[in-house]
Structure 1
Amino acid sequence: MTVTGAERGAAGVGNRWWGRRRSAVFDVGLAVVSALECGLEGIGFAEKAALPVPLGVVFGLLVGSVLVVRRRWPIAVVLVSIAVAPAEMGFLMGIVGLYTLAASDVPRRITVVLAGMSTTAVFVVTVVSLRQDIARAELETSAWYVPGMALLLTLGLNAPPLLLGLYIGARRRLMESLRERADSLEQELSLLADRAEQQAQWARQEERTRIAREMHDVVAHRVSLMVVHAAALQAVALKDPQKAVKNAALVGDMGRQALTELREMLGVLREGAVPPAPAPVPLAAVGRAAAAAAEAAADDGPCLDALEALCEQSRLAGAVVELMVMGEVRAYPPEVERTAYRVVQEALTNVHKHAAGAEVVVRLAHRGTEVAMQVENGPCPSEEGGAGVGLPSGGNGLVGMRERVSRLGGAFVSGPTDAGGFKVSAVLPVGEPGAA
């Protein structure tokens, strides 16, 4: 029947304080009924006070019409009903005023005080009225009859509207609290959706970067060796046909290995793709599929046992490569072995591109909680370094190695050596021995 403070603040623009037209009509109707009641009761009040009857009627109409402002000033309505209680008028205004006061946002301390004052006023007026009626009727009653009946009538008039108002007010505040909580949850869900979309975008970007690294590692190394062998094949084709045939066979092997690795990687990506669905696929599902593809590719990648074969491929291309293994050989997690292998592979590819013919030393050290690898090449021979084989360079090799190592929490260093060569070093944490 009343409105909260927030609704009053929103609706009380200008001179209006009703939130809806229906509330205004209802309050005006109550005020009219209350004014008619007080106007009729004003006749008896005027006769008892020896006042003109029209004056009593006008006074009653004015008093009853105060009920129209019950939503804006409930305290004023209750005070007016208490003030006119001795005149035995405003019973409807008192009942509605107590209900409105209890249901509003007025502090409970003020509500209790005003309810006590209204109850006391009604009780006193009822006691006086009952005694006068008993005296006029010349009835004999017990000493407790009048106070008991007055108390019963007072509680019957004041308790129900007060309790109903307290219940309605508490229910309205609960509904407002639930509505605010629902709005807050909706905002949180919106933020979570935005965050999930950002994470999905990050996952897609990470997957694209991973695929680019894989393509670079697979294609760059194999194709570099193929170009080196093709150059050697061109140089010896007329002079040494047998060596030319051998180099041609090596080129074919390199091409078949490159195609095999590309097929494996593309197969993993197809297995991890999101299946078509009639409804739009959530962005989070795309991110999960990309992550699954990355993990599957990591499990199927090369390992450290293939380093000797990798070095042998470079030897067949004419490079002088020495592999040195230090420490006790043991198994590592797949992502660690795969990253170590790719670092050595990319470093050897860079040697073929930028220092053809240089001597290369590959060092692999197995330590307690880490594995370290280093690829160091000497200066490029002048007679070979100037010729080259025309291998293009995209400048992404060192960047890709650094990204791989950093992703596992390792350290990566690269740079020229004092002897005029180049060195690539990486250290990967692997945890305690036996963790794999």
Structure 2
Amino acid sequence: MTGTGEERGGAGRDGPWWWERRRSAVLDVGLGVVSAVECALEGVPTAREAGVPVVVGVLFGLVVGSTLVLRRRRPIAVALVGIAVTPAMMGFLLGVVGLYTLAASEVPRRIVATLAPMALAGTFVVTYMRTRGDVEADGTLVFVLSAFMSVALTVPPVLLGLYVGARRRLMESLQERADSLERELSLLADRAEERAEWARTEERTRIAREMHDVVAHRVSLMVVHAAALQAVAAKDPAKAARNAALVGDMGRQALTELREMLGVLRSGSPRPVAPAPVAGPPAGGFEEGPSLEELEALVGQSRAAGMVVELLVQGEGREDPYPAEVEQTAYRVVQEALTNCHKHAPGARVVVRLAHRDGEVAMQVENGPCAADVTRPGLPSGGNGLVGMRERVVGLGGVFVSGPTDAGGFRVSAVLPRAAGVAP
């Protein structure tokens, strides 16, 4: 059955005027023509009974029957016209189709509940009066026959219209849900693509940060030792030999760490990672790496390169070690800070402080002003050291502060919580 009720504009409409489709217009016009012809024929006896010219009855029937064309546009008006002409015994098709259209349309149910009983009562009264006057029959039989005719002409169209309207609304609801689901799936696919791209970017950033931390410190020390080797090669062969040995050790250590990192990247083996929260970027993967116990060796490497550096430890570490990501991040912060001292403050006195507190560990690397009589090693700087340190610390929910001191030096400070989490 075709849909009824007020037309709803939408994409794909190709019908004239208020019809959504051409076939709907053809159907309604066809029903209107048949109804007009029927009412015109029924208007002949009606006109004779009323004592008016037959032409008037025919014209009246044509006008009344043709109103069925408006059933989709004005279903209430068509139903009222069908009820109004019931006493004239005309408009059989108009009444049946009008009631069906009214029940199937989007009009309030209370209107259907009002007009349907009116049509039922009108049909019953007219049928009863006509039957009682035309035939000689028992009153009970006439009553039953009239009731049957009125129910047959009103109840089935109303029930069918209610069913078709409910089915159409259900199909529209299902279509809306399907469209909504399709939009949601498209949105989820877009979000998944965004997350994948973000994850790739985050992984590239993490790898770049790891490569920088691993290589920059070792290579910086190698450059410093190489410069010292060049300076003392002719004057002190023994010291030059020691510096050459240190350069070789640094190079081997750098190669070892690079080989381990590349091996992890190639194998793609799973590594323990810090848990990611609901909001905020992940802290990145933390493979087996350096710990706080290796700070003394790290400071010793800088001393061997000629730096005047002091390590001060406050508090006592707890019996249970810090989480691996906390120890590795603390080590990398100190390592990168010492690398920056080699690059930008050669000859300056450096103090490394490590403090164990309740629930957190703090570290600070502070250097004095650069010595005026010391030649800078000319180490390149990409400007990513402080950024990488901040990303590491903030990624674990810590606090990172860096900046110049009043004495003309530079200070890097960081505090990491023991229960490392990811900052939002």
Would the alpha carbon gap of residues 270 and 133 (structure 1) be closer, same or farther in structure 2, given more than 3 Å must change?
farther
Q: Does structure 1 residue 414 correspond to structure 2 residue 415? A: no
Indicate conservation of the 8 Å contact 2:15/2:25, yes or no. no
Structure 2 length-normalised TM: 0.88
Matches within 5 A, 1:27-426: 27-134=28-135, 138-139=136-137, 141=138, 143-272=139-268, 294-295=284-285, 298-330=286-318, 331-384=321-374, 387-426=375-414
1:16 counterpart SS class: coil
Where do 5+ consecutive residues of structure 2 fail to align? 270-280
Would the alpha carbon gap of residues 260 and 196 (structure 1) be closer, same or farther in structure 2, given more than 3 Å must change?
same
The structural deviation recorded for 1:292 is: 10
The answer for the alignment partner of 2:20 in structure 1 is 19
Bigger drift between 363-372 and 239-248 goes to 239-248
Mapped partners of 2:263, 2:58: distance in 1: 96
Q: How many residues align?
A: 407
The structural deviation recorded for 1:411 is: 1.2
2:363 counterpart SS class: strand
Indicate conservation of the 8 Å contact 1:11/1:18, yes or no. no
Mapped partners of 2:382, 2:416: distance in 1: 26
Would the alpha carbon gap of residues 398 and 348 (structure 1) be closer, same or farther in structure 2, given more than 3 Å must change?
same
Indicate conservation of the 8 Å contact 1:272/1:293, yes or no. no
Amino acid at match of 2:150: T
Bigger drift between 33-42 and 14-23 goes to 14-23
Would the alpha carbon gap of residues 6 and 218 (structure 1) be closer, same or farther in structure 2, given more than 3 Å must change?
farther
Instruction: Give the helix-richer structure, 1 or 2.
Output: 1
Would the alpha carbon gap of residues 367 and 11 (structure 1) be closer, same or farther in structure 2, given more than 3 Å must change?
closer
Would the alpha carbon gap of residues 431 and 6 (structure 1) be closer, same or farther in structure 2, given more than 3 Å must change?
farther
Mapped partners of 2:217, 2:57: distance in 1: 109
Mapped partners of 1:32, 1:360: distance in 2: 103
Mapped partners of 1:390, 1:8: distance in 2: 74
2:8 counterpart SS class: helix
The structural deviation recorded for 1:48 is: 2.4
Mapped partners of 1:13, 1:182: distance in 2: 24
The structural deviation recorded for 1:272 is: 4.0
1:431 counterpart SS class: coil
Indicate conservation of the 8 Å contact 2:36/2:65, yes or no. yes
Indicate conservation of the 8 Å contact 2:7/2:73, yes or no. no
Would the alpha carbon gap of residues 66 and 216 (structure 1) be closer, same or farther in structure 2, given more than 3 Å must change?
same
CA-to-aligned-CA distance 1:326-345 (integer Å, 9 cap, x gap):
22324122221111111000
2:373 counterpart SS class: helix
Mapped partners of 1:152, 1:119: distance in 2: 10
Mapped partners of 1:403, 1:293: distance in 2: 8
Indicate conservation of the 8 Å contact 2:5/2:101, yes or no. no
Mapped partners of 1:429, 1:323: distance in 2: 21
Bigger drift between 252-261 and 4-13 goes to 4-13
The answer for the alignment partner of 2:274 in structure 1 is none
The answer for the alignment partner of 1:287 in structure 2 is none
Mapped partners of 2:10, 2:304: distance in 1: 86
Amino acid at match of 1:187: R
1:72 counterpart SS class: coil
Bigger drift between 263-272 and 167-176 goes to 263-272
Identity %: 69
The structural deviation recorded for 1:427 is: 0.3
Indicate conservation of the 8 Å contact 1:8/1:18, yes or no. no
Mapped partners of 1:351, 1:389: distance in 2: 11
Indicate conservation of the 8 Å contact 1:370/1:429, yes or no. yes
The answer for the alignment partner of 2:277 in structure 1 is none
Amino acid at match of 2:383: G
The answer for the alignment partner of 1:278 in structure 2 is none
Mapped partners of 2:82, 2:407: distance in 1: 105
Would the alpha carbon gap of residues 6 and 211 (structure 1) be closer, same or farther in structure 2, given more than 3 Å must change?
farther
1:194 counterpart SS class: helix
The structural deviation recorded for 1:209 is: 2.2
Matches within 5 A, 1:1-12: 1-5=2-6, 7=8
Mapped partners of 1:11, 1:346: distance in 2: 65
